[in-house]
Amino acid sequence: MLDRLVAKILRQKSYSAQSAVLTVKRLLHDAQTRIHPCILQALECRTPVVALESTILTHGMPHPHNIRTANEVEQIVRENGAVPATIGILNGRVHVGLTEEELQYLSQSKDALKVSRRDLPYALSQGACGGTTVSATMIAAHKAGIRVFVTGGIGGVHRGAEITMDVSADLTELGRTPIAVVSAGVKSILDIGKTLEYLETQGICVATFGSSREFPAFFTPRSGIKAPYNVCNVEEAASLIDSSLKYGLCSGLLIAVPIPEAHAASGQVIEEAIHQAVTEARSNGIVGKDVTPYILQRVNELTQGESLKLNVSLIKNNARIGACIACALSQIQQGNKKANSDQNKMLSSLSRPVVVGGINVDFIAKSKQKTVVFSEQTTPGTVYQSFGGVGRNLADCLTRLDMNPLFISAIGMDMHSDSVLRFCSHMDMAGVARFQDHRTATYCAVISGSGELKLGLGDMEIHQQITEQYVATFRKELCSASLICIDGNVPVSTIDFVCRLAWEHGVSVWFEPTDVDKACKPFLSDSWKSLTYTSPNIGELKAMNMSLGQRVPSEMPVLLNDVINTALMLARPLLEHLLCVVITLGPHGVLLCGRSEGGRMLIHPHRKQNPKGNVCAIHYPAITISQEEVVNVSGAGDCFAAGMIAGILSGKEMDTCVRMALFAALHSLKSNDAVSPKISPLTVTPQGNTAQCLPDVGPRWIKYSQTNNLEDILI
């Protein structure tokens, strides 16, 4: 079992050398190393991971500043789409990923060792605790398969090293461990010129981050010395790391991030204090690894705490940029993996659908009685767990229909999230972020024996973490997507961002409203004009019209012809900009509203444009199913939408698209799962369902007339 997990992780992380496989297998069985389950899960799911050192806890800052800073840095990494993995040593064991209790313990430990490469054997053999320096953290991170490491500043060549031979082990580690280190350059107490020369000798690629090639000096953005190279943004930094890894270089990279200019003035004051502290250290005979802690403490005293504040700001800035680089690298590596697959998968990865939406853990309670009466008595029924969320259902169904979607969402870091990731292992979950101190969304549905939803309770706060900033880390995938599908659980600002980006790049957008309250989100601004498709029920369609200030019926009709007429009237304002409005009518089937050209409805856009042609609609009756066959109603609408999307992206004719959608919905209704495992390209096509009865009544073409009396159905 463990070996299969290792093999899966290695495949997903694009390891190729057999030695790497053996190294990681030994690591997972190694009694001297523990990789936190959340980190293992992140690596398995190809979620970006950022390594963090622990000397900030044990030697870098006093308590409680150390624990507060460590927690804040971890949170910044999470907020920017990556998983933090703080590395430390507890009881003679290297821990990759520390719990809150472990962080607290190290932050208050009085006898923790400062552990570099040299000190690792002793710390492990003695069962000691310690904070890992840059070099030790690099070793542990590399063994675990983590590619990006964020720190404040690395060690270097000390002033007077031509006499003392005092050169940090960080530099030699960079020369032999292939990991990217994101730091604010090297500490200004060091000889920066000689440090860069030594890095060159070790074959280490050094690049500054941002607009300048001038190498930063920790507290100040400029040292007066030019770096060999420069990367302007996170994409260029990620590409640099990827190129080094792909070519098999065994050395690391240093990406030097200058402290923000806003802190430059304070940095100059601190530089003066540093020079005084260096002089005092020499006078007091302080040498070796005691020099840096002494100088940092003395500088903090001389600046009355200003250096500590600046140090915290600097580390936070590095964490933000490092997390974004890790996310960009993850995307590049996923593309590399797909590029090595067969041609169809390669083409799919270049232009594939992207789904942005929610994940829920569903608890379905179905009464054995046709009606549900809420009282203090226990109602007989069945209760089971399922996995849903509109976005997840869409991505799941599209995956089963061979559309290979990228799914962007958010979950907590709890037992529910572990279950979700296991259940969704067949899907591409690389875009799913995990947030500590947040709960994975849960939903409880009470269903009557006749299949009607009687009560729904949801804990959906985590969906607010699907922010514009996080989704923006997948800009490349969004801009090249064959279609973007976004659900109503996503925050309004994120919907606006996706719609704006899609419009700029001519990408079609499908909006799945989720429910009546959330259906209006794109219609609170001009974002809705960027939509190509939407798939509301008639209640959600009414809410959309109300958001646009349109007049709506006071009561919704019941008879089929009245329902169709009302739905078409409500779709009319949306068709000023949307290509197609797909209205689900429950037992009445589905109504497609759009525009006709050459006697057929347009459903395949080449590029988002204002649609032209006459407004029309086509009604398709529902596939007949008995109440006894209905097991679950929570995913039918999502599967219908996914079936339509798959048909459209496959270039199918409209009738085939609708039938694919109906069959996908039918499988969902008959399954305990929101998305039936039986859904496949074969089972949703009419040819693959010869035993399944299609509706006896064929589709009806309905023309919209400008002379139709809208007043008849309005208030």
- How many Cβ atoms from other residues are within 10 Å of residue 576's Cβ? 12
**Cβ distance 145 to 24 under 8 Å?**
yes
Give first-to-last CA distance, the chain, whole Å.
Answer: 64
Three-state secondary structure call for residue 617: strand
d(CA 65, CA 71): 10
d(CA 694, CA 36): 52
d(CA 570, CA 710): 10
Helix extents (H) in 94-133: 100-108, 120-125
Element at 493 (helix H, strand E): helix 492-505
Active-site hit among 53, 102, 306, 512: 53
**Cβ distance 177 to 138 under 8 Å?**
yes
377: CB partners within 8 A, 6+ apart = none
Three-state secondary structure call for residue 141: helix
d(CA 163, CA 155): 18
The reply to whether 272 belongs to the active site is no
Return the ∠ at Cα 174 (arms to 168 and 176), rounded to 5°.
115
The reply to whether 576 belongs to the active site is no
- Residue 548 is encoded by which pair of tokens? 């646009």
Name the burial class of residue 235, with classes exposed (0-12), middle (13-18) and buried (19+) by CB atoms within 10 angstroms of its CB: middle
Count the helices and strands in the chain (H runs, E runs): 25, 26
d(CA 681, CA 647): 10
Identity of the residue numbered 85: A
**C-alpha dihedral (674, 477, 72, 56), degrees to nearest 10:** 120
- Residue 353 is encoded by which pair of tokens? 């659908």
User: Peptide bond preceding 64: is omega within 30 degrees of 0, i.e. cis?
Assistant: yes
Local structure of residue 158 (DSSP, 8 states) = B
Burial call 344-365: b when 16+ CB within 10 Å, e when fewer: ebeebbeebbbbbbbbbbbbbb
d(CA 4, CA 19): 16
- Pairing state between β 600-601 and 614-620: unpaired
Burial call 550-563: b when 16+ CB within 10 Å, e when fewer: eebbeebeeeeeeb
- Residue 629 is encoded by which pair of tokens? 């066959």
- Residue 253 is encoded by which pair of tokens? 């990279």
Three-state secondary structure call for residue 444: strand
Active-site hit among 114, 143, 187, 338: 187
d(CA 13, CA 42): 11
Q: Nearest-CA neighbor of 322 among 50, 539, 70, 554?
A: 50
- Residue 685 is encoded by which pair of tokens? 């096509």
**Cβ distance 44 to 8 under 8 Å?**
yes
Name the burial class of residue 574, with classes exposed (0-12), middle (13-18) and buried (19+) by CB atoms within 10 angstroms of its CB: buried
Which residues are catalytic, by number? Answer: 53, 187
